[in-house]
Amino acid sequence: MTKYHLNSLLVFIFLICGAFLSEAQTREVITLKKGWKFSKGNHPEAITSNFNTSNWETVTVPHDWAIKGPFDKEVDIQKVAIEQNGEKVATEKTGRTGALPYIGEAWYRNEFSISNFNKDKKVLILFEGAMSEPEVFLNGKKVGEWKYGYSYFYFDITNYINDTNINTLAVKLTNVGLSSRWYPGAGLYRKVQVIVKDKSNIKHWGTFITTPIITKDLAKVNIKTKVSGENLKLVTTIFNSEGKIITSNETDALFNNEFEQNLAVKNPKLWSPETPYLYTAVSKLYVNGKLTDEVSKRFGIRSINYDQKTGFSLNGEVRKFKGVCLHHDLGPIGTAVNKSALRRQLRILKDMGCDAIRSSHNMPSIEQLELCDEMGFMFLAESFDEWAKPKVKNGYNRFFNEYAEKDVVNLVHATRNHPSIVMWSSGNEVPDQWGTEGVKRAKWLQDIFHREDPTRPVTVGMDQVKATIESGFGALLDVPGLNYRVHLYEEAYEKFPQGFLLGSETASTVSSRGIYKFPVEKASMKTYDDFQSSSYDLEYCSWSNLPDDDFVLQDDKPWVIGEFVWTGFDYLGEPTPYDEVWPSRSSYFGINDLAGLPKDRYYLYRSRWNTTDETLHLLPHWNWEGREGEITPVFVYTSYDSAELFLNGKSLGIQKKTNHTPQNRYRLMWMDVKYEPGILKVVALDDDGNPVAEKEVKTAGKPHKILLDSDVKTIKANGEDLAYVTVSVVDKNGIPCPTATNQLNFKVKGNGEFKAACNGDATSLELFHLPTMKLFSGKLVVLVESTEEAGEIELKVTGKGLKTGKISLKTVH
C-alpha cells in the first residue's frame, strides 16, 4: 500500500498586469508584456543594442506568431507510419501539425530598466514557455539557452545588467519541421518576467508547502523555504481566503540553506473540486532585523491517497477521476496563453461535471493551474511525449539525455504548491515502453519526481500494455495508466501489483458538431466525402473505443480509479481519421469543438458526470429535407433512466436504459424513427413513469435573423480579457437553423476590438483573425478583446439577407 499525502500549494503568484508589482518594496517583478519587436528570419545582429527594429512588427507577449496562418498543406507534411495508430506503412500526413506556418527562426526584442540597481541586487529572467529552442541575449551577450518549448526556465542575469540601466533583451527561437505530432505554436507564448531582489533572498521556486497531517480540528502545514544569505530569520504568516490571519511562525534555524516551519491551522477548510478553498502563506525574510524579501504563496489543505484496496481518495473520500485531456492551444487564438480563454474552458467543463484535467502532453501553464486551484479541478501534470526513442524525427528525443532531469525539476519546483495537482506523468505512449532500457528510464524519471516531491505519485500513459506487462515497466509505476486498450484492463489488473488502474487516456471517439450520417452504425475510422464525422457518437479510432465502453469499466470495476477522455476540446492538428486528407487541419476528438461549442457527446458525459443538474438532450436536429419517410434514428442523452418520444404529437414509444449493450445502458435510442418535418419531443420519466422534464427540436425554415449571446457581459479593461459571443441564426419564427452556412461579417466599436472567430469546422481554411466567417452547423463564435479603457463595446454581425445582430458589453477597471 502506497500513500501520498499532500497538499497544498502555491500558486506562483507573481501576477502582474502592467509594468511591475512591488512586494513590500523588497523585490521588483517586471512583466515584459508590451513593447516587444518581432520578426521572422535570421537576424543574428539583433542582439546588439543599436540594432534598428523600426520595420519589425510590434507585438505583446504572450504571442503566437503562427496562428494567423495562412493554412497551407505544404507546411510540415510528415510521411510517417503512426505506430500508436497501428500503422505499418508510411503515408503522407497533411495537417498533422495544423498546417499553420510555425516552422522557422524568429526573433523578439525588448528593453527594460531597473530602478535603483546596485551591487546588492540579484536579477533573474523567467520564461514560462518559449517555442522553441530559445537562446537568450542581454546587452549583446548570450545569457543561456534551453531546448524544450514547453518548459519553464530562468537565468541569473545579474552580471549582464547594463550600467546605463537600459537593458536590451533579444530572444532567438527556432522551430524545426518534424518536431511535433500536433500544432505546437510558435513564439513567446507564455509570460516573460524580470525579477529583481536582494542578494539575501528566498530562492526562486524555493518554497514547498505541504499538509502532511489533517484532522477535522487541526491541520499541520509544513513549509520548506530555500534561501540565500547570512544572519537570516524567516517569518511566515498564513491567511484565510478572507485575508484574516490564521497563524504565524518565525525561525532562524537554518539547515543547508533551508528553513522548515510547521504551522497549525485550526478547523481547516479542505480543498476539493466541490469546495476549492485556498489559504495564503506570506513569508518574510529578514537580515539582522531588516526585511529583504517577501513571497506570497496560495495553497490548499488536502490529502490524497492511492490505495490497493480502495483506489484513489481525496480528503479520505474514495472517488474516481471524471477527467479530460487538453492540448495547450486555445483554438482561434493559438497557443498564446490567455486566462479568460482558459477560464471559459473550465466553466464549460465544470457544467459537464468534469473534475480533473490532464495536460497533454506537456507542462501546463501557470495560469491554467491557478484557475484549477480556484475553480476546483484536480490536475494530472504531464511532462513529455517522447523520451530517448523518437516518435517524430526532431522531437524531444534530441534533448532527452541532457535536459530531461532539468525539465522535470523545473516542472516540479514551479508547480508543486498547487493543490490541484494530484499526480505527475513522466510520459505519454513513449516508444521506450519496449525493452529493458525503457524500464530503466521509467524508474529514473519516477525517482526524480519522488526526490523533488515525495508527496505525489507518478504515472505514464501506456498504450503498449502487453509489452509493459512483460518487461516490468508497468509494475514499477506508482499509478499504471492505460491509454485505451479496454480489452486488456482485466489482464493488466491481474498482473500489475498496484491493485488499481487509471484510464489515463480514453475514448478517442470522433464527431463533428451538428453533422449526422446515415445509416447509423458503430464504425472504426469511418470517413466521408465531406471529411466530417458523425455526431451520433458511434465512430471511433482504430486504437480506441466508444465512451460507453469506458463507462462500463468505471462503473463496474472498483479498481479502475477514473478516466481522462481524449479530449475535452478539439485542438489544432491531428485530424484523425482524415490525417491524409486536405483540408482537414484540426482534431475531431473533442467533446467540445475548436470554438468551444458543445457537441452532442458533451451531454452524454454530462448525463453521467453532472450529478446535481438534470440532463436531457435530444439528437439529431430535425431539418432533413429529402429524407422524408427514411429511417432517421433519434438518441437521447439524459440523467433519467427512461423517456417517451413524440413526433408531431404521436408517441413513438418509451425507451429505458438496460444492460443489453453498453450503448443501451447509457443512451436512450429509437432506431426506427422515420423522418417527417415538424416537432420532435422527448419527455423524461421518473421511476414511477411520471413526466418530469421535456425537450424538443423543430424543423426550421430559411435563416432570417442573427442572434448573439456572450459568455460574459462584463470584461476587464486590461487589453487582454476576452468575451466569447456565440452567433447563430433563426428563421422568421425564431426556430434555430441547424444547417445554416451563411457567410457573416463582424464589426466591433467602442472600447474593444475584434480578436478572432471560429466555427468549429475542422476543414475550414478561413483565417481566424479576419472579421468574416461562415457558419458551421448554424453557429460560430466571435472573440471580442478589451482595450485598456473602461466603457462600452458593441459587436455587430451582418450577413446577406439576414437581420443584423448586435450585442453590447461593458469593460471595467
What amino acid positions are annotated as catalytic residues? 429, 505
**Residue 163: burial class (beta carbons within 10 Å; 0-12, 13-18, 19+):** exposed
Angle at CA of residue 419, ends 413 and 420, nearest 5°: 100
Of 633, 677, 376, the closest CA to residue 518 belongs to 633
Helix orientation angle between 339-352 and 600-609, rounded to the nearest 10 degrees:
60
Helix axes 600-609, 547-556, angle to 10 degrees: 10
Residue 346, C-beta contacts closer than 8 angstroms, at least 6 positions apart? 371, 372, 375, 377
Please report where in the chains the cell 487541526 appears, as a residue: 218
Angle between helices 436-452 and 400-415 (to 10 degrees): 30
- Which residues make beta-bridge pairs with 638? 616
Q: Tell me how far apart the alpha carbons of residues 373 and 809 are, in angstroms, rounded to a whole number.
A: 28
SS (H, E, C) 731-792: CCCCCECCCCCCEEEEEEEECEEEEEEECCCCCCCCCCCCCEEECECCEEEEEEEECCCCEE
Pairing of strands 218-228, 258-266: antiparallel
What 3-state DSSP class applies to 554? helix
C-alpha distances in Å from residue 656, one per residue of 637, 641, 707: 12, 6, 36
Q: For residue 663, what is the enclosing H or E element? A: helix 662-666
DSSP 583-603: T--B-S--SB-TTS-B-HHHH
DSSP tag of 699: -
Of 514, 548, 505, nearest in space to 534 by CA: 514
Q: 49: buried, middle or exposed (CB in 10 Å: 19+, 13-18, 0-12)?
A: middle
User: Three-class SS of residue 47?
Assistant: helix
Q: Phi and psi dihedrals of 609, rounded to 5?
A: -90, -40
Which grid cell is 759? 466555427
CA distance 709 to 596: 14
